[in-house]
Amino acid sequence: MPDEAGAPIAAERHSQGKRRRIIFPPAIGTLGTPAYMKRVELFNELGPDSVLMMGDNPALPPMPEKPTLLDFFRRRFHPRGVNHLLQSANLARKAGLPEKLVLACLVHDIANVALVGSDHGYWGAQLIGPYVEEEVSWAVRYHQALRFFADEAAGYTYPEAYIRYFGADYVPPPYIQAAHREARAHRWYMSARQITIYDVYAFDPNTIVPLEEFTDIIGRHFRQPEEGLGFDGSPVAHMWRSIIWPNNFL
User: Does residue 2 contact residue 9 with C-beta atoms inside 8 Å?
Assistant: yes
Interface with Fe ion (CB under 5 A), residue from 92, 127, 199, 243: 199
Q: How far is the CB of 109 from Fe ion (least distance, A)?
A: 4
Choose the stretch contacting Fe ion; rule: CB under 5 A; options: 36-44, 50-58, 108-116, 164-172.
108-116
User: Does residue 72 contact residue 222 with C-beta atoms inside 8 Å?
Assistant: no
Q: How far is the CB of 121 from Fe ion (least distance, A)?
A: 6
The amino acid sitting at 221 is H
Choose the stretch contacting Fe ion; rule: CB under 5 A; options: 44-52, 193-201, 203-211, 230-238.
193-201
Q: How far is the CB of 166 from Fe ion (least distance, A)?
A: 14
In terms of C-beta density within 10 A (0-12 exposed, 13-18 middle, 19 or more buried), how is residue 176 classed?
middle
3-state secondary structure 182-245: HHHCCCCHHHHHHHHHHHCCCCCCCCCCCHHHHHHHHHHHCCCCCCCCCCCCCCCHHHHHHHHC
Q: How far is the CB of 203 from Fe ion (least distance, A)?
A: 8
Choose the stretch contacting Fe ion; rule: CB under 5 A; options: 58-66, 107-115, 131-139, 203-211.
107-115
Choose the stretch contacting Fe ion; rule: CB under 5 A; options: 60-68, 90-98, 172-180, 195-203.
195-203
Position 56 contacts Fe ion (CB under 5 A): no
How far apart are the C-alpha atoms of 231 and 224, rounded to whole Å? 11
Q: How far is the CB of 105 from Fe ion (least distance, A)?
A: 8
Choose the stretch contacting Fe ion; rule: CB under 5 A; options: 17-25, 99-107, 192-200, 226-234.
192-200
Which residues are registered as beta bridge partners of 50?
20, 47
Position 127 contacts Fe ion (CB under 5 A): no
Nearest CB to Fe ion, comparing residues 56 and 109: 109
Nearest CB to Fe ion, comparing residues 196 and 247: 196
Position 109 contacts Fe ion (CB under 5 A): yes
In terms of C-beta density within 10 A (0-12 exposed, 13-18 middle, 19 or more buried), how is residue 244 classed?
buried
x/- track of binding to Fe ion for residues 66-105 (CB under 5 A):
----------------------------------------
| Contacts to Fe ion by CB under 5 A | 109, 199
